[in-house]
Amino acid sequence: MRSVRARAALGATLVVAVALIAAGTAVLLSLRANLIDRTDLQAEVSARDVASQIALGVPYGKLELPDEDDERPVQVVGDDGRVLAVSEHLEAVSGTGSADVRPRAQPRDGDGDDDDDPVRGEVSSDDPGFASGTATVDGESADYRFAAVEVRLDDDRTATVYAGAPLTTEQDAVTTVRDAMLIGLPLLLAVVGSVTWLVTRRALGPVEGIRREMAAITRSEDLSRRVPEPGSGDEVARLARTTNETLAALEASVERQRRFVADASHELRSPIASLRTQLEVGAAHPELLNVPGAVEDTVRLQQLAADLLLLARLDAGERPGSSLLDPAQLLTEEVARRAGDRVPVEQAVTQGLQVAGSRAQLGRVIGNLLDNAQRHAVASVTASVRREGGRIVLAVADDGAGVPEEQRERIFERFVRLDDARTRDEGGAGLGLAIARDVAHRHGGTLTVGRSPAGGAVFELALPDAARG
């Protein structure tokens, strides 16, 4: 059963069926118990009425017993098991003290003769006993409930009065209710199943709309399309909203990839064309070959290829290492490799700090920041490492023109270079800062730019303090 609507309808129907069967059973049992209690009360009233007559000394042959229209048979049984009195037209009985339906007088003087002299007594105050049985009255048999009330006579004998009340009313009522349930239950379950089907169909209608639109988007590859968002504000609406957000993120990602490929192709075209021209000129006129220029173009290609490869790994979700590193040592090592830079780097570092991550990637970030500072500094570049709260901050500052405040986020985009404030250098492809921020984020840190005390730009790389992690 692949349909959610069918499963929901079937599940709801089964749950309601179990609940109704349990409730119906409880109702039938409760109804039957109440009706039996009522029948027991009727039987007890009849038994106590006859018992009161016996206690007052009324002879057994003169007892006022219910007639045939009363449908409550009575049988009086002595302590020796003999039937002393019985209702008229009672032809058979079970569930009482005796199956005999013919009365026989009880000897009261001990000589074996019957004695009809009245003997008084008292009705027992104990709760009567109840039993189920049958009785045939005037040719008609039925089920009865019998109440047994005991009478203690003054001559130390006892008599037990058995009075019955028919269970016909109880049986008819239970049968009627049972039949109504058997008829109504399937109809009610059909209604529940149909309503559940319709409600589920209505509730899942927007989901089907989302599915159809997603299928159309997949076929057309048009990520600018969006799924319909119902105005219900429920889970389906939130699903549609999340789906649209996912589509928007996917569209932006694909657009970034397309722009990245276009920009990369543009950046690669210039050094490749320059290198080819130089090689072609050198092949025709060896004396005109510009070897330093060819080497420079080759280096640019190598650096650009390395940057593109790193970006591809970062976009693929490459996880940074978890080695403990000293950022001051990383900075010192990177500065030492740049002894011939145009502007010397002044360092102000705090030793003994630790961050967790990849040595190669963090070293690349520091190198990119120093490259950027060297490219735009006038006379000084300052690098520092300090602890600030729960972060380790590595800052690189220069005294160049700085970065306009409205451009401070844009410079971290790929292949972006600011022609006015940050001079376009033929050796840069606009990937260094983008790589640096991406690596910082993947290490759980941030990379921001501000204004340095010398008036230029200051880039601050903030990473979690591993010593406090």
Residues 335, 459, single domain; the answer is yes
The reply to whether 427 falls in a domain is yes
Sorted by sequence, the CB contacts under 8 Å of residue 274 that are 6+ apart come out as: 293, 297
Q: Report pTM.
A: 0.50
Asked whether residue 69 carries a pLDDT value surpassing 90, the answer given is no
Domain finish residue from 297, 314, 331: 314
Nearest to 436 by CA among 381, 385, 383, 363: 363
pLDDT of residue 70: 67
Q: How far apart are the first and last CA of the chain?
A: 51
Taking only the tens place, the pLDDT of each residue in 77-122 is 998 889 999 988 888 999 998 899 888 765 544 444 444 566 888 9
Q: At 388, which helix (H) or strand (E)?
A: strand 381-388
β-strand 381-388 against 345-349: which pairing, if any?
parallel
Tokens linked to 385: 């490492």
Stronger pLDDT, 262 or 111, i.e. the higher one:
262
Asked whether residue 202 carries a pLDDT value surpassing 50, the answer given is yes
Q: Residue 452 belongs to what domain range?
A: 320-468
126 φ, ψ (degrees, to nearest 5): -70, 155
Residues 298, 342, single domain; the answer is no
Residues 364, 284, single domain; the answer is no
Taking only the tens place, the pLDDT of each residue in 392-447 is 999 999 999 889 989 889 888 877 766 544 443 444 567 888 889 999 999 999 99
β-strand 457-464 against 446-451: which pairing, if any?
antiparallel
Nearest to 402 by CA among 448, 458, 347: 458
Cα distance between residue 365 and residue 417, in whole Å: 18
Segment among 96-110, 209-223, 359-373 with least mean pLDDT: 96-110
The reply to whether 464 falls in a domain is yes
Question: Across the chain, what does the average pLDDT equal?
Answer: 85
CA dist 90 to 33, 72, 166, 169, Å? Answer: 27, 10, 13, 20
Residues 331, 303, single domain; the answer is no
CA dist 199 to 3, 16, 191, 319, Å? Answer: 14, 16, 12, 47
Segment among 62-71, 231-240, 278-287 with least mean pLDDT: 62-71
pLDDT of residue 370: 93
Residues 252, 364, single domain; the answer is no
Domain finish residue from 124, 140, 173: 173
Sorted by sequence, the CB contacts under 8 Å of residue 280 that are 6+ apart come out as: none
Asked whether residue 72 carries a pLDDT value surpassing 70, the answer given is yes
β-strand 323-325 against 457-464: which pairing, if any?
unpaired
Helix axes 432-442, 291-315, angle to 10 degrees: 30
Residues 296, 338, single domain; the answer is no
Taking only the tens place, the pLDDT of each residue in 272-292 is 888 888 888 888 888 777 788
Sorted by sequence, the CB contacts under 8 Å of residue 321 that are 6+ apart come out as: 356, 357, 358, 359, 361
143 φ, ψ (degrees, to nearest 5): -85, 145
Residues 246, 100, single domain; the answer is no
Asked whether residue 34 carries a pLDDT value surpassing 80, the answer given is yes
Question: Is 447 in contact with 460 (CB distance < 8 Å)?
Answer: yes
The reply to whether 452 falls in a domain is yes
- Show the beta-strand stretches assigned E in 98-249: 121-123, 129-137, 140-153, 158-166
Number of domain units in the chain: 3
Asked whether residue 12 carries a pLDDT value surpassing 80, the answer given is yes
Asked whether residue 382 carries a pLDDT value surpassing 70, the answer given is yes
- β-bridge partners, 146: 131, 164
Q: At 396, which helix (H) or strand (E)?
A: strand 391-398
Per-residue confidence band for 36, with pLDDT thresholds at 50, 70 and 90: very high
Segment among 232-246, 276-290, 325-339, 364-378 with least mean pLDDT: 276-290
Using DSSP's 3-state secondary structure scheme, residue 138 falls into coil
The reply to whether 97 falls in a domain is yes
Taking only the tens place, the pLDDT of each residue in 191-201 is 988 888 888 88
Segment among 222-226, 262-266, 451-455 with least mean pLDDT: 262-266
Residues 325, 427, single domain; the answer is yes
Residues 310, 326, single domain; the answer is no
Cα distance between residue 157 and residue 141, in whole Å: 33
pLDDT of residue 302: 82
| Burial class of residue 114, CB neighbours in 10 A (0-12, 13-18, 19+) | exposed
CATH number for the domain that contains residue 347: 3.30.565.10
pLDDT of residue 420: 43
Sorted by sequence, the CB contacts under 8 Å of residue 159 that are 6+ apart come out as: 51, 54, 76, 77, 78, 79, 84, 106, 121, 150, 151, 153
Q: At 290, which helix (H) or strand (E)?
A: none
pLDDT of residue 424: 39
The reply to whether 110 falls in a domain is yes
Percent of the chain as helix, strand, coil, to the nearest 5: 50, 20, 30
Nearest to 398 by CA among 421, 419, 417, 414: 421
Domain finish residue from 149, 173, 197: 173
Residues 81, 16, single domain; the answer is yes
Sorted by sequence, the CB contacts under 8 Å of residue 4 that are 6+ apart come out as: 200, 204
Question: Is 278 in contact with 297 (CB distance < 8 Å)?
Answer: yes
